[in-house]
A and B are shown apart, each in its own frame.
Chain A
């Protein structure tokens, strides 16, 4: 064959792939990238300097949200009535297999873009960043989110690493946003050092995996692994793979703030501004869970094809291993997060531990999904849907929680729980809003947090009945249940301080009233927490579609 001719088809194939297939599905990311450039350019031009960078960012993100929504709406098999018609993942490989576009990508991108819109509005109301820092702040946030979108669609271990770094590096800078504050710089440094360490370990693990399996493309890796497992591994290969897998897990666990890689989380949250905490706890967590699903599913569940059944069976041992690791980590994360939260006196630290605990619940759902993957694909899809639903409600709950912390900080000049004492006398509205958010985080009906927990527990219960991991799943169920009871203590303590305790005598500043822009923001975030607890069919239909990626 003529090599020149070959190059020609190759080139035209690549161009075709990029322009016709890939870029149309990449519009949200492109609009983020364009907005970043615009934000930086605005600084150069004296006229454009007058433009508020928050508005520029908001415009760009709204554009991204529109594209993300139209991508999601365009997915085949979105079934609002939930009548049980099978959802379709609509999987496409973009950029020569580097990225995967499917319903999970579309769903997570939708969540991230929706979050960004709310987040920018929130920062505009709360006043951090100020006008000077606006362009820096928003370009960092948008850049980080761009990385997170890539995390949600990574299909190649090179992209896994690149996306994680792209999401992390701007976050380090964001943590240090409060310039001249010691705690903020400390948080940034701690975050960066931890992040660099975790990235190094992860890269090493990825190279081990790639070296043994001879490819970096996740679906191909699964095929290779299945072949290896079916034909019997040469001595040491299994161990290398296991070590590689554990090292990759360390990197993912860092992003998830899972025990034992959670140490950065409370310090960073306490040191950084509450706004940054909101970003890290919602967006970063959402992307990390999506990436965990991608990697875990990519490597242990082979793509559909003629030898799908054989490969799926061959990877049973791998899934058993992965389930064990994730379940163990979930148990530790959840329990430690809830126990450690009990002793906190600072609201941001408490929310940091609450974030850790919720990562545990989310990982339980992922463990159930992997356990079910080989036994009952429909149930596995339901488990992934449960996790996706959880992410959707978690967005509102945690953003609302951090928004309340930030807005109360503005009026009370404090983030200590004790300083919230007796707020019910002056601001019943804000106490009710906090109550709804915290009770939803406990997971009591009729609020969104309950439905999420219900769905995750239901999936674990299904894994108890259907999968081979019965004892492990039962442990998850019991630990999850007990943790819900334990979490009651510390969430209720905040409410107790707000509602039962007398206000401190020296309080001078009044907290903000509910009838104000701040109040409107809090209301806008809290209303979905209630409505998604009662009318959750719509979000669940979206999550079901996202869960179809697992087919």
Chain B
């Protein structure tokens, strides 16, 4: 790596956002601060997360900082931006390849934002403060890394880097059953990621860069577009004329290869199933464990309930989004054939978890467990929205409904990041005071803590999907879009809205309303502190803001999502047309018939 490469404008913003938390963690690990100064460790950690958040704002919302400069995110531009490309392991062509687009940029900002709030919510943690903050900051690097990696190997590294800090954060600072919950979380995720590793290897060895055109190579950043003319052509020629297949871990290049008319992923077969289908299924298992989807969701209630409040906020706000992000970024673009064939599976899983999660939430006696199951239910909408591949022949390749579904799913992910983190924080505030979470023993909190209760009710309404709050937009878009794909699923998801209203309203009634609080530790119900208010207020403000001005998020999401959906729709059309032409060659009579039957 030469100095001139390091000084390229796009290198630093993403790299800093990504590694600053880890660097601060490393500094905290040095015994520079004496043991007694826990307070200063907390401040260093909080300031680090704030700096990272401001950096991500500088990148993502450049208008706050003056005119658009290099390395900043340009709204409305669907492709990858601020790409960082450095060779890492040349023997396998593994690169340090980062970039953000309309899908990942808002998720990165969500991550850095929730990290600040979770850091502020970490003040009550008094056990092993230094270790806590080191793990917390490492976790932040891992989460951001997953969202910005464009190299599959790098993606996998960050995906796994998150596991260990999370294991310890739940296992050391968690509730009474923390060891069980931490191990369960680790095992489920590791199982999924081993399957993911197999899929990555499968795709790697099936991939072949020589099949891509010059434009595709440049678009996928296999060849840097900033090269001068002779060098660029030479690099492209060197790839295209290679006598042996050139394998790649580049996620963008893999997507281009997967969408080729004669994709090697579809051609190579194992036991009757194409590589594409195998990889899609393996990746899907890995991702839906993280989402999580019924029936692999059982780690989530345990992990959420046992984790300390800030970690619950991170878990619900960010970690669950990684699964949805993976499906959107990796499963569909790389394995479109399998995605089309298995759309029913993704949608079905989504609706099952939606309904099951809602019923399970209704049945809970533990406040935090109820919120955890509400996450399962809400993430079901994300799955449904991502899965509604309705742009098929019977639908005249209309991509609108599908694009609406994917946009809705993206919005739902971001909205749920705000509302679920808020809900977990609100539960945590109460738990810090009365040290129990039994829904039966609450009641009358409104009288004792009016400010807290009004903020909490606002956040719970956002989770409910009240119009005018952020939860509403995503659910409505997904439900509408699924109508085109399957009426039954649409009816189910609409019906779930009633269930959601039921369990949230019932919880509000049992906790906040009522005459007076009769449970244990009633004398400790002190008003919200300023720190707590500083955490809750931004969440409530954003929940309302995104509810009334959803275009704030759609401005980011829509261009990229629409482009991806249109590309995949064009792919569907070409594949279907291709197979119909093939069909027509063998059976001319039926072909003309099917031509005639089209309106």
Contact = CB atoms under 8 A, between A and B. Distances in A.
Q: Are A and B subunits of one complex?
A: yes
Interface of A: 81-84, 424, 428, 432, 435, 439, 444-446, 450, 454, 457-458, 461-462, 464-465, 470, 474, 477, 481-482, 484-485, 488-489, 492, 496, 499-500, 536-537, 540-541, 544
Contacts of B195: 481
Interface in B188-204: 190-191, 194-195, 197-198, 201-202, 204
B25 to A, nearest CB: 12
A439 B164 contact: yes
A458 B172 contact: no
B160 A481 contact: no
Contacts of A83: 90
27 contacts: A82-B90, A82-B91, A84-B91, A424-B131, A446-B157, A450-B157, A450-B160, A454-B197, A461-B201, A465-B205, A465-B206, A477-B198, A481-B194, A481-B197, A484-B194, A485-B187, A485-B190, A488-B190, A489-B183, A492-B183, A496-B179, A499-B168, A500-B172, A500-B179, A536-B89, A540-B91, A544-B91
B277 to A, nearest CB: 15
B163 interface: yes
Contacts of A541: 91
B268 interface: yes
B171 interface: yes
Given A446-B157, A499-B172, A82 B89 contact: yes
Nearest to B171: A500
B156 interface: yes
A498 to B, nearest CB: 11
Given A461-B205, A536-B89, 18 more contacts: A82-B90, A82-B91, A432-B29, A444-B164, A450-B157, A450-B160, A461-B202, A461-B204, A470-B270, A489-B183, A492-B183, A496-B171, A496-B183, A499-B171, A537-B88, A540-B89, A540-B91, A541-B91
A504 to B, nearest CB: 18
B186 A488 contact: yes
A450 B190 CA distance: 13
Contacts of B270: 464, 470, 474
B218 interface: no
Contacts of A84: 91
A500 B173 CA distance: 9
B54 interface: no
A503 to B, nearest CB: 14
A369 to B, nearest CB: 16
A81 B172 CA distance: 43
B172 A461 contact: no
A297 to B, nearest CB: 22
A496 B168 CA distance: 9
Contacts of B449: none
B161 interface: yes
Contacts of A485: 187, 190-191, 194
B51 to A, nearest CB: 23
Given A499-B168, A499-B172, A500-B179, A446 B194 contact: no
Nearest to A460: B201
Given A465-B205, A492-B183, A445 B191 contact: no
A84 B178 CA distance: 49
Given A450-B160, A537-B91, A544-B91, A461 B179 contact: no
Contacts of B171: 496, 499-500
Nearest to B205: A465
A308 B191 CA distance: 44
Contacts of B186: 488, 492
Contacts of B157: 445-446, 450
B194 A537 contact: no
Closest A-B pairs by Cβ, 8 of them? A82-B91, A461-B201, A445-B157, A481-B194, A82-B90, A445-B160, A465-B205, A444-B160
A538 B198 CA distance: 25
B321 to A, nearest CB: 21
A477 B200 CA distance: 13
A135 to B, nearest CB: 40
B90 A482 contact: no
Interface in B498-516: none
B201 A482 contact: no
A97 to B, nearest CB: 33
Contacts of B183: 489, 492, 496
B268 A537 contact: no
B161 A445 contact: yes
A84 B242 CA distance: 13
Contacts of B163: 444
A458 B179 CA distance: 33
A428 B29 CA distance: 10
B156 A445 contact: yes
A445 B194 CA distance: 12
Select the residue from A82, A461, A464, A477 with max chain B CB neighbours within 10 A.
Answer: A461
A537 B187 contact: no
Contact of B198 (A446, A457, A540): A457
Interface string B163-185: 11001100110000011000100
A474 B91 CA distance: 24
B168 A482 contact: no
B417 to A, nearest CB: 25
A540 B128 CA distance: 39
Nearest to A444: B160
Nearest to A458: B201
Given A446-B161, A450-B160, A481 B90 contact: no
Contact of A462 (B29, B164, B205): B205
A426 to B, nearest CB: 12
Contacts of B29: 432
Contacts of A457: 197-198, 201
Contacts of B156: 445
Contacts of B187: 485, 488-489
B479 to A, nearest CB: 37
Contacts of B90: 81-83, 537
A424 B178 CA distance: 17
Nearest to A514: B31
B200 to A, nearest CB: 9
A537 B92 CA distance: 9
A93 B458 CA distance: 81
Nearest to A541: B91
A541 B92 CA distance: 11
A70 B268 CA distance: 46
Contacts of A435: 164
Interface in B58-95: 88-91
Nearest to A544: B91
A241 B156 CA distance: 45
Nearest to B178: A500
A361 to B, nearest CB: 13
Interface string B128-140: 1001000000000
> Which of B163, B178, B183, B194 has the most CB atoms of chain A within a 10 A radius of its CB?
B194
Nearest to B128: A424
A436 to B, nearest CB: 10
Contacts of B167: 492
- Which one of B191, B197, B198, B268 has the highest number of Cβ atoms from chain A below 10 Å of its Cβ? B197
Contacts of A464: 270
Nearest to A379: B205
Contacts of B204: 458, 461
Contacts of A454: 197
A439 B206 CA distance: 30
A444 B172 CA distance: 20
A450 B172 CA distance: 25
A424 B202 CA distance: 40
A487 B205 CA distance: 27
A464 B198 CA distance: 11
A424 B171 CA distance: 13
A444 B163 CA distance: 9
A55 B447 CA distance: 78
B420 to A, nearest CB: 27
A500 B197 CA distance: 30
Contacts of A489: 183, 187
